[in-house]
Structure 1
Amino acid sequence: MSNPIDHLINEYIRTLSPKELGAIKGNNSIRLDKGELPYPPSAHVTKAIADAISTINRYPDVLGGTLRESLAHYTGVRKEQIVIGNGSDDLIELIIKIFVKPGEEVLLPVPTFFVYWHATQMMGGNPVFISRTADFGLDVQALLQKVTVNTKVLFIANPNNPTANLIPRDVILSALNHLNCIVVIDECYYEFCKETAIDLIEKYPNLIILRSLSKSFGLAGLRVGYAITNEEISDYLYRCAQLFPVNKLALAGAIAALEDKSYAYSNIVKICQERTSLAHELTTLGFSVYPSATNFLFLSTKPLGITSESLVSALRKRNIFVQDFGMKPGLDEFCLRVSVGTPEENHEFIRVLREEILAISI
């Protein structure tokens, strides 16, 4: 039976899949499914947020206010090159809104971050999937073969999500040198790998870098992302952005986090140490574990003869959450992603995982 308002809904929106609430996670659950930092923000950050609460009857600063200056200082660019958004998801939508007309194409080397194609479909664009190499590298020749007069944007997550690998700089340069469309390099895991293309902004007028304070700075719940680009693109992004893209508490927390970088860096050291230990444990259990330049590990359950869906479901029943990527674009039915938790969380995860593998295999 058709809905009486169907004819009023934009046709591109009708084709989108409905969102689900997802599993409710209790306080005792181990949450390794969202790429979050397992450590809370520093006392300096929580104090700044608490101090800002008394003024939330007033609107936040327009277009991010002084956070632009803080981010410019942190990244080494001019404040006019910084665009602040409600997480990088917000900026992804803005980029597509500005550069992609209905029916035009967005190139997506898969597997990659699902928001790229979701936002493309939402705007009526056409996501064009390009297969990666066997080790999830970027196949520039395959990419170029997909370029048409309708190609408007290319998204490259670097490091890639969910596969955690870095694309070498020479490959990035090859893509930039052969493409006239907008090239977006998503560096939201930058602090874990220290690889960046920011220095190429001045040379390539079609380049946009995306970053986030969610992962390295532990502010996922505040939703603060930012873009770095030339001043012309920055101007157009802000023309389409909300006047208040980030709320007042998020602004206060983000500025304070950038003032307390040593705390963030100390957490990154701990995560990288735990990542090495966790990868070793998972390899010992029989998983294929891919190299990681992020705060998560990408695994294949194929050597175990178990689908990722069955293993993720079994762990969920034990109140442990990891992300199933089985049969997502560019992947088979054996793929999952595990965020690196605290030492205690990782230890319990491995203990339960060992039990569940044994139970499924019997």
Structure 2
Amino acid sequence: MTARRPGPGGHLVGAYGLPALTVLLVLVFSLALPRTFPTLDTVDSILSTQSIPAVLALAAMVPIVTGAFDLSIGYGLGLAHVMVLQLIVEEGWPWPLACVVVVVGGGIVGVLNGVVVEFGRIDSFIATLGTGSMMYAVTGWVTDGGRIVPGPQGLPDAFTDLYDSKFLGLPVPAFYVLALAAVLWLVLERLPLGRYLYVVGSNPRAAELVGIPTRTCTVYAFTASGLIVGFAGVLLAAQQQIGNPSVGLDYLLPAFVGALLGSTAIKPGRPNALGTVVAVAVLAVGLTGIGQMGADFWTVPLFYGGTLLIAVGLAGYAARRRLRSGVGASRDAPGSSEYPQPPGSPKGGGP
């Protein structure tokens, strides 16, 4: 008996329900707060303040594609932004060189995470929690438990402009998010490497049988995550302009909420870059709206925690529904034409 495919209406609701919710929230808050919410200041605030959570959510999303979780991204963000300021303020490095070194360092940390998970055969939760704790220790060692404060001359204007400047009347960080999401969409949806990553995440045993290097693909995913975290650290340093050794942990939960909630949109049942951006937009609109309505400080962790539970439940439901309906089953199969075989591997998924 063939699996029943969902009708076009059900597919549209699953794919575009989250963007529709964003529009609905904007309308509701605009009606409830006509003087403060539907303004250019609110738009600028959302695009600016949510850029770093969006970048970090994209960093969390990449390993999830392969079925792994990188819990070290919050610790890595804290270490990266501290190291940028340490190199610029304390060591006197030119800011472009400091930024490049920190981003490359983030990539190296990602490689180590991938090696520990795949070649050390340690669960990704445990492995990245351990490496994250080690990074937190390094952060404390670099800062000696204090803050890195620039001197009277401050930081170079060109460096702080990485976060503070505008382009086409909008905050520049918003364009970083769009560019990064576009690159990840291209790699994951249009290039063979991205398709292999999805296969590894959905059925690693089948991926191995057709010759896909599952361990190498997972290391690639962690490396990409580390590079993105390093870039997010540069942005955070340009935003904060003070090295705070504990600030990175505040971004861990929002990142995973955005990544997991994003797997319920655009491509329901599979993590994807565009869905992650939409999820971050929903969270940003919701938090901004309840903040302008005078909500207490404890509503923010309550909002993120509740949304995380909902996101995990919806992501699991979307994945199960996708498997039951058969939609994507042939597309995710390693022997399908959409997921090309590595050179020399047998066609049709045979051993």
Q: Which has the higher contact order (CA 8 A, sep 6+)?
A: 2
Higher helix share goes to which structure? 2
TM-score for the superposition, normalised by structure 1: 0.27
Higher strand share goes to which structure? 1
TM-score for the superposition, normalised by structure 2: 0.28
